Amino acid sequence: MTPLCQSCAMPMDAPEKFGLEADGKQNDDYCCHCWKNGKFAYESTLEQAVENNIPWWKEDGDKSDDEARSRIMKVFPTLKRWAK
pLDDT tens for each residue of 7-37: 999 999 999 999 999 999 999 999 999 999 9
SS3 for the chain is CCCECCCCCCECCCHHHEEECCCCCEEEEEECCCEECCEECCCCCHHHHHHHHHHHHHHCCCCCHHHHHHHHHHHHHHCCCCCC
- pLDDT value at 60 more than 90: no
Provide the pLDDT confidence category of residue 76 given band limits of 50, 70 and 90. very high
What mean pLDDT is predicted for residues 45-74? 94
- pLDDT value at 53 more than 90: yes
Provide the pLDDT confidence category of residue 84 given band limits of 50, 70 and 90. confident
- pLDDT value at 51 more than 90: yes
